[in-house]
């Protein structure tokens, strides 16, 4: 996965879980993910990069006779999901392992998902290949993640390049946001057939970045834009959000975009 060491820190894991619980965006998109998965209730479902189980919890309510296997390499995140004061997540088991090398037999899962974690993987393609391996033929992998807007010209490319440059400065070269089209290619390069690809846009008009996934990184982008040409700042505002800074206060208004894409393992694929 990523080399971001903060996920291995207990205090960070607790704060991460707290912020995820308070995020309306997380809650809304979790429901969209569940709808897209079309669960019967008896499936074996894989939660890749499960973290503290924030997406596993609502999914478990739709599995009366199924089960969830959560994979994550960060022990701190897994421990927070098992803390004594938390309600147990029904039908949920956890395994400490990397998503690129999962200790699971091939062809055992009906569904798999990766929620708000794609941008952390050093090799997202390896993760998709491994998820495909553990899926049954006809099984589906769902990826839900913040996305950047596909570029139309050199200025768009410069804005998107700056976003990922700033993100990588904090969290390493593997940390990046994809466009929806790049997510599609990731699925097909991993041998999966695209069965849906949606972009969900959430408009915001608020003080601060609270509740916005990868929010602290967007603040870093805003700081970086302060010293950049006006045309770059204007294009960023057009594609993402406008911002006003007054001392420690930051007001943002605009839109954030989230991709939800599903790839199906072809029947007869016995890898």
- Average pLDDT rounded to a whole number, residues 6-11: 53
Residue with tokens 């998902």: 113
Q: What length is written for the chain?
A: 271
Residue-wise pLDDT tens digits, 50-105: 988 889 999 999 999 999 999 998 777 777 666 655 678 899 999 999 999 999 99
Cα–Cα distance for residue pair 131/102, rounded to 1 Å: 8
- Strands annotated E in the chain: 44-48, 67-72, 92-96, 109-115, 135-148, 178-179, 193-207, 241-246, 249-264
- pLDDT of 8 over the 60 cut: no
Is the entire prediction scored with pTM above 0.85?
A: yes
Could you read off the pLDDT of 134-164 as tens digits, one per residue? 999 999 999 999 999 988 899 999 999 999 9
- Residue 144 phi/psi, 5° resolution? -125, 120
- Structure confidence at residue 3 (pLDDT): 43
Could you tell me the domains of the chain? 5-149+174-203+258-264 (3.40.50.150)
């Amino acid at each position: 996965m990523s080399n971001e060491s903060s996920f291995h820190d207990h205090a960070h894991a607790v704060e991460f879980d707290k912020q995820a619980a308070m995020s309306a965006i997380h809650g809304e998109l979790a429901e969209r993910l569940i709808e897209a998965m079309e669960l019967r209730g008896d499936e074996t479902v894989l939660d890749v990069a499960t973290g503290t189980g924030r997406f596993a919890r609502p999914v478990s309510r739709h599995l009366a006779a199924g089960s969830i296997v959560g994979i994550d390499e960060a022990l701190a995140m897994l421990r927070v999901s098992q803390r004594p004061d938390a309600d147990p997540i029904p039908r949920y088991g956890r395994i400490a392992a990397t998503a690129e090398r999962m200790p699971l037999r091939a062809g055992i899962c009906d569904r798999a998902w990766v929620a708000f974690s794609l941008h952390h993987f050093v090799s997202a393609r390896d993760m998709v290949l491994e998820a495909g391996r553990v899926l049954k033929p006809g099984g589906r992998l769902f990826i839900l993640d913040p996305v950047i807007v596909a570029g139309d010209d050199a200025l768009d490319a410069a804005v998107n390049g700056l976003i990922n440059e700033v993100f990588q400065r904090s969290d390493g070269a593997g940390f990046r946001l994809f466009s929806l089209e790049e997510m599609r290619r990731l699925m097909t390069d991993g041998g999966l057939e695209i069965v849906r690809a949606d972009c969900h846009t959430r408009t915001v008009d608020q003080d601060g970045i609270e509740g916005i996934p990868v929010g602290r990184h967007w603040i870093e982008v805003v700081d970086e834009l302060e010293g950049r040409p006006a045309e770059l700042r204007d294009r960023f505002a057009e594609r993402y959000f406008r911002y006003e800074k007054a001392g420690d206060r930051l007001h943002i208004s605009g839109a954030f975009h989230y991709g939800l894409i599903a790839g199906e393992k072809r029947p007869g694929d016995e890898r």
